[in-house]
Structure 1
Amino acid sequence: MTTNREIGYLWLFKDKANFGERPTDEAFEGYMKALLICANGDGTLAPEERDWAVGHAAALGASDALVDELKTYKAVDDIEQIITATHESSDSRRYIIYDAVRVCSADGAYSDRERAMVIRMGAKLGISEELVRQIEDICLEEARLREKRLKLLYPEGPPL
């Protein structure tokens, strides 16, 4: 029997990436670790970046064990090894770049150093710099639209 919480996780995956089912725990682990490796690519994993990744994993229904592991994960493993562990995470290489831009921006800045690291990580994943920049443009445009939406819907600021 599917729980209400599982229905919510499936809805989020459908909304986020058009998935028809949740990824395996192994794929989830590889994806989230690869994301933190990208965020740590400039040698600094800001608390806001880790918090974003941990919260993202928890919101999407990662196991408690994985969420706990991500809280202290060093994020220094070889990204290519991590990402190729399962076909689901390997097939999500472009989405890792998308979420890497988002996680690198979680501290309020997407620096040139972070951008260079995302491009390098993309190259390690077989993604061209041009494609990384296209993905980056979408992320940044979505962030601007989010701010515009929030200002329109809550002109006095959020109620909670």
Structure 2
Amino acid sequence: MNIREILKTEESKLNFLGGLIRLAKIDGSVSEDEKIFFSQAAVQLEMKEKTISLLESYWSSEDKINVKFETKRESLFFIQQAVQLCAVDGVYSDKEKREIRLLGKELSLLESSIEKIETWVEDGLRWQALGETLLGIED
């Protein structure tokens, strides 16, 4: 699934990355590496300079970052990517889960849809971990 096939407008790209920044800020600390990652993602998505500047202002803002998408597919894609990003470090915290639920509600998604995405992500992480253990079989 190509991100450019789903997020076709400047607004959808801004909301996508803005929502991910909202999640990144939830634990109270944001590394420079995280900020660089999002800046590079904005460039890769070919966002306009004005939009990138707005996106970068989110890091210092205390205001809640509102997220809105035109289609259910965009909303589900956002939640799918958000859960993966939250869980990639091996810890999908209660704070992150609550914020994902809140975002899902704001996007008018069913709780069951979010649960299915979370299960898919958890299954994928277990599958990946199993694959990594297979690399050590000969040891």
TM-score of the two chains, using structure 1 as the length reference: 0.60
> CA offset at residue 130 of structure 1?
2.1
1:61-117: CA deviations, max 9, x gaps? Answer: 3448466765563274442xx424xx36x6411111112212222444111222122
Aligned partner of residue 142 in structure 1, secondary structure: helix
Residues 136, 49 of structure 1: alpha-carbon distance in 2 compared, 3 angstrom cutoff: farther
- Write out the 4+ residue segments of structure 1 that deviate beyond 6 Å after TM superposition: none
Identity of aligned residues (%): 19
**1:36 correspondence with 2:21:** yes
- Residue 72 to residue 147, structure 1, CA distance change in 2 (3 Å): farther
Determine the C-alpha separation between the residues in 1 that align with 2:114 and 2:33: 19
- Is the alpha carbon distance of 1:140 and 1:132 closer, same or farther for their aligned partners in structure 2, counting shifts above 3 Å? same
- Which residue identity lines up with residue 112 of structure 2 in the other structure? E
Shift in Å, 1:126: 0.8
Q: 8 Å contact 1:35–1:53 — kept in the other structure?
A: no
Query: Residue in 1 aligned with 2:12?
Result: 27
CA distance change for structure 1 residues 99 and 26 in 2, over 3 Å: closer, same or farther? Answer: same
SS of alignment partner, residue 92 of structure 1: helix
- Provide structure 2 residue ranges, at least 5 long, that are not aligned to the other structure: none
Residue 128 of structure 1 corresponds to 110
Q: Does 1:144 align with 2:126?
A: yes
Residues 37 and 69 of structure 1: CA distance in aligned 2, closer, same or farther (over 3 Å): same
Q: TM-score scaled by structure 2? A: 0.67
Q: Calculate the aligned-residue CA RMSD, in Å.
A: 3.7
Are 1:93 and 1:125, in contact at CA under 8 Å, matched by a contact in 2?
Answer: yes
Aligned length: 134
